[in-house]
């Protein structure tokens, strides 16, 4: 992927001020728009972007994230976030694009494809989009379990915590550079997420209201190709009892039978697979973009 990043500020849905970075010149192929997950920001995709062959590429700071300026009491529903995607394509002067989403971004990509099929050539969902936390139990209980812990910790401690987690063996300067813009220092020099707890929970509430089955059906009716990656980091049979794994397994079964969808299961992949295996994710995105140029007549079913 060539260098030459260009940052663009534009107005999204309901007056939200958003930021998108783009690389490459128009005309190089089907454009690709990258959507990060909850609490992340557009430079999270850096390790993947540096390995992509597709051009042009853009990565959006979604509402409330990164350098985008959205009030805490704004609408963070998936339908409004999908309108931000359309506004972003307009700002880039892209008639349509392959829209790629990670985690929560996958839900936004799926909604954009369902609601605005004329603007989405194909959607790629990376460990997200096919399920919602609403399937895990009563909303209040699940919401409490998914509330992130408060940060406000020294930088050295934060990076030590992250490096000792699942990304530990895949850690590099490139990984840290992708994550650093996620955080901001407070007056005492302690790090917290840019999005903050209130916005985080507002975005999560919007995700509870998602209806993947309806969105997949709408994409099927429109003939929009859907590609999905489901990460499966289980190391033992004991991991099979994890409720998230059960949720994913049901989602894969439900996806089977849709002729416009192809689901890949990646054993050993962690949720943040764009940082774990950026070359593999880049190859997946390049494949989706290439297929959007010359789509096949059928996509197949589940994994």
Q: Is residue 110 part of a domain?
A: yes
Give a yes or no: residue 202 inside a domain.
yes
Assess whether pLDDT exceeds 80 at residue 294.
no
Contact 32, 97 (CB under 8 A): yes
pLDDT score of 235 more than 70? no
Whole-number pLDDT of residue 245 = 77
- Our count of domains for the chain comes to 1
| E strands, 130-248, in order | 183-185, 191-193, 225-232
Over range 146-152, report the average pLDDT. Answer: 85
Which CB contacts under 8 angstroms, 24+ apart, belong to 92-97?
A: 92/8, 92/20, 92/22, 92/31, 92/56, 92/58, 93/26, 94/26, 94/31, 94/33, 94/56, 94/58, 95/119, 96/30, 96/31, 96/120, 96/121, 97/30, 97/31, 97/32, 97/33, 97/58, 97/121
- What percent of the chain stands above pLDDT 70? 92
Q: What is the mean pLDDT of the chain?
A: 90
Q: Which of 39-53, 108-122, 233-247 has the lowest mean pLDDT?
A: 233-247
Query: What CATH code is carried by the domain that includes residue 218?
Result: 3.40.50.1820
- 234: confidence class by pLDDT, cuts 50, 70, 90: low
Greatest mean pLDDT among 18-22, 171-175, 198-202 lies in 18-22
User: Does 158 fall in a domain?
Assistant: no
Q: What is the pLDDT of residues 203-233, one digit of tens each?
A: 999 999 899 999 999 999 999 999 999 998 6
Give the integer Cα–Cα distance in Å for 26 and 14.
28
Which range marks the domain in which residue 123 is found? 6-147+197-293
Asked if the structure places residue 177 within a domain, the reply is no
Q: Say what the pTM is.
A: 0.93
Is 24 inside any structural domain? yes
Q: CA-to-CA distance for 116 and 139, rounded, in angstroms?
A: 29
The answer to whether residue 272 is domain-embedded is yes
Q: Classify residue 156: in a domain, yes or no.
A: no
Average of per-residue pLDDT across 293-303: 47
Confidence of residue 251 (pLDDT cuts 50, 70, 90): confident
Neighbours of 83 (CB within 10 A): 21
Q: What is the pLDDT of residues 94-107, one digit of tens each?
A: 999 999 999 999 99
Instruction: Please tell me the distance from the alpha carbon of residue 8 to that of residue 21, in angstroms, as a whole number.
Output: 6
Position 51 pLDDT exceeds 80? yes
> Is pLDDT above 80 for 140?
yes
**Degrees, nearest 5: CA angle 133-138-144:** 70
pLDDT at 297: 40
């Amino acid at each position: 992927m060539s260098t030459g990043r260009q940052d663009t500020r534009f107005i999204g849905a309901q007056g939200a001020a958003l930021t998108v970075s783009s690389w490459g010149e128009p005309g190089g192929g089907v454009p690709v728009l990258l959507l990060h997950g909850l609490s992340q920001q557009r430079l999270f995709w850096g390790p993947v972007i540096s390995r992509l062959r597709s051009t042009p590429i853009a990565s959006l700071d979604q509402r409330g994230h990164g350098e985008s300026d959205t009030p805490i009491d704004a609408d963070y529903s998936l339908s409004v976030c999908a309108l931000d995607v359309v506004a972003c394509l307009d700002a880039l002067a892209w008639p349509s694009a392959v829209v790629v989403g990670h985690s929560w971004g996958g839900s936004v990509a799926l909604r954009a494809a369902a609601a605005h099929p004329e603007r989405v050539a194909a959607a790629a969902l990376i460990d997200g989009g096919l399920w919602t936390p609403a399937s895990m139990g009563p909303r209040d209980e699940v919401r409490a379990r998914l509330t992130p812990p408060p940060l406000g910790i020294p930088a050295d401690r934060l990076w030590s915590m992250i490096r000792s987690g699942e990304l530990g063996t895949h850690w590099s300067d490139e990984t840290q550079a992708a994550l650093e813009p996620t955080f901001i220092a407070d007056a005492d020099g302690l790090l917290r997420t840019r999005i903050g707890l209130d916005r985080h929970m507002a975005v999560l509430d919007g995700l509870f209201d998602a209806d993947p089955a309806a969105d997949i059906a709408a994409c099927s009716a429109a003939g929009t190709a859907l590609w999905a990656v489901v990460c499966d980091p289980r190391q033992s049979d004991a991991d099979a009892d994890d409720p998230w794994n059960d949720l994913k397994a049901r989602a894969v079964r439900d996806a089977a039978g849709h002729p416009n969808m192809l689901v890949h299961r990646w054993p050993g992949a962690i949720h943040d697979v764009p940082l774990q295996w950026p070359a593999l994710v880049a190859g997946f995105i390049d494949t989706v973009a290439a297929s959007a140029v010359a789509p096949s007549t059928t996509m197949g079913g589940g994994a």
